[in-house]
Amino acid sequence: MITILAFLVTLGILITVHEYGHYQVARWCGVKVLRFSIGFGKALVSKRLGKDNTEYTLAVLPLGGYVKMLDEREGPVDQADLPRAFNRQPVWKRIAIVSAGPAANLILAIALYWVLFIQGITGMKPMLGEIAADTPAAQAHIKSGQIIKSIADTPVTTWQDVRWVLLNQTFKTSDVDIETSDGNDLYLYRLSLAGLSKEDIDENFLEKLGLTPFRPQMPANIGEIIKGSVAEKAGLKAGDKIVSVNDVKVAQWEDFVSIIRQNPGKPISLKLVREGKPLEVAVVPDATKEHGQLIGRIGAGYRINESEMKDLLIEVKYSPLAALGQATQKTWDTSLFSLKMLGSMITGEASWKGLSGPVTIANYAGQSAQIGFKAFIGFLALLSISLGVLNLLPIPVLDGGHLLYYMVEILKGSPVSDKVMEVGQRIGFAVLGLLMACAFYNDINRLITG
């Protein structure tokens, strides 16, 4: 229910803001608006308001919306209303009206990021954990325990920044400069990105590069038990100290987790100490899929000490004016990156697996809503940018397609013919159909493979 509700709220906000952009600018330009609809199909709620008797509608299918304006191409128009018909407006007004929808989504993203940057964003410090052998980071002689300060001369403060900057750099260059600090001295390394494939970018490419977050030493002590889990049924309790798994000694929590993950559905013998007394417990880890691989889980967790976590976390916040600049820059960078990713998909440099449909969006909406307000706001901002950028693409039936027609009209001095627009509509629907089919396929594939 949380996922469904979060999905509906997400769609409702994004669609309403988008259509309101068209609606408001149309009114400013003197165009008569006949209907403002959130959703398609049969109307659930409908009411007429204002001097123009505009119909405001909430329809049954929430995957979109539209603003219907007075237009001679769609029906007869009274002589008195001709100056207010959309098709009678100068081209610059039509451009403004069509651009307003995507612009509203980008403005919403700036506003949401502005709120986040004022409130403060908590993230993990980019402190390097163990550098795996034979990775680009190991070959560059990057040392664990150091904190990443900048990448390609771009300052970074969290691991989210590190991922974002490196993801952008993969489309620009084959190697990148990374500056780190050990608390006293600064170090400069040259990291190769050449070995990354388009499949790696879809997964955890930082791990492929050998860059992993620092993790404090965690003893193999159980901190919490999930109700109804394998661990609870086996009699494990919070506070149990794991000594060995299948007679293999374990000292760290990661070692314990690794063995559990490697034995889905297989009986495992645990030797542990509870309140100073040795015990032996048998468990059979549940078999679940993660990124297409079968792994084991028992439903036991490690409770991290608060002081340990505070040393690893950092809160980044700005003054209202500085936050506005950061929010604008974030929206701009994300918009450009979205276009680069789409271009890379078309050229084959990036995988089409990154394209998501409504099922994945609903899933992320639910997850972000459960994490908290800030996570949901960040997700909403990102999706608003995606919607704005998508609608600006020069594909007929999208806002960008109409803008393309108007650019042609400016160049040739007359509107594009109805026949050309009709052919464009068919092409546009075909392209959108292919994109939706690919998105739904990816959604279903993620559900099947986990």
Model pLDDT, residue 307: 66
Polymer length in residues for the chain: 450
Structure confidence at residue 375 (pLDDT)? 87
Q: Which of 19, 55, 130, 199 is catalytic?
A: 19
| 206 and 240, same domain (yes or no) | no
The verdict on 127 and 199 lying in the same domain is yes
For residues 200 and 207, is the Cβ–Cβ distance under 8 A?
no
The domain tally of the chain equals 3
Answer yes or no: is 16 within a domain: yes
Q: Which domain holds residue 170?
A: 121-215+304-316
Tally of helices (H runs) and strands (E runs) in the chain: 14, 16
Predicted pLDDT of residue 449: 59
Q: Angle, to 10 degrees, between the axis of helix 320-347 and the axis of helix 91-119? A: 120
Contact between 320 and 118 (Cβ < 8 Å)? yes
Are residues 312 and 202 part of one domain? yes
168 shares a domain with 230: no
- 308 and 161 within one domain: yes
Block residue for tokens 């959604």: 443
Q: For the chain, how long is the longest CA-to-CA vector?
A: 93
Q: Which two tokens stand for residue 447?
A: 């559900």
Question: Based on the domain organization, do 145 and 247 belong to the same domain?
Answer: no
Same domain, 13 and 150: no
Q: Tell me whether residue 323 is in a domain.
A: no
Q: Which residues of 142-154 are buried (b: 16+ CB within 10 A; e: fewer)?
A: beeebbbbbbbee
CB 4 within 8 A of CB 362: yes
In a domain, 288, yes or no: yes
> Which pLDDT value is given to residue 202?
64
Domain boundary among 256, 279, 303: 303
Which of 316, 344, 379 lies at the terminal end of a domain, its last residue? 316
382 shares a domain with 250: no
Please report whether residue 148 resides in a domain. Answer: yes
Reply yes or no on whether 290 is catalytic: no
CATH of the domain at 171: 2.30.42.10
* 126 & 105 share domain: no
The pLDDT value recorded for residue 38 is 93
Answer yes or no: is 355 within a domain: no
Dist CA 227 CA 248 (whole Å): 27
Is 416 inside any structural domain? yes
Tokens 């304006």 locate to 69
Same domain, 228 and 200: no
For position 86, what pLDDT does the model report? 94
What pLDDT tens digit does each residue of the chain (450 aa) get?
778 888 888 989 999 999 999 999 999 999 999 999 998 888 899 999 989 999 999 998 888 899 999 998 888 889 999 999 999 999 999 999 999 999 999 999 999 999 999 999 888 899 998 898 989 999 999 999 999 999 999 999 999 899 989 988 887 888 999 999 988 899 999 999 887 776 766 667 888 899 998 877 788 888 888 888 999 999 999 889 999 999 889 888 888 998 999 999 999 999 999 999 999 999 999 988 776 678 999 998 887 766 666 778 888 889 999 999 999 999 999 999 888 888 877 777 767 776 777 777 777 788 888 878 888 999 999 999 999 999 999 988 889 999 999 999 999 888 888 888 889 889 988 888 888 888 777 777 766 655
Q: Would residue 211 count as lying in a domain? A: yes
Q: Residue 200 has what pLDDT?
A: 67
Is the residue at 327 inside a domain? no
Do 162 and 311 fall within a single domain? Answer: yes
Give CA–CA dist 98/19, Å, rounded: 10
Where is the domain boundary, 254, 271, 303? 303
The predicted structure's pLDDT at residue 396? 86
Q: Do 109 and 19 lie in a common domain?
A: yes
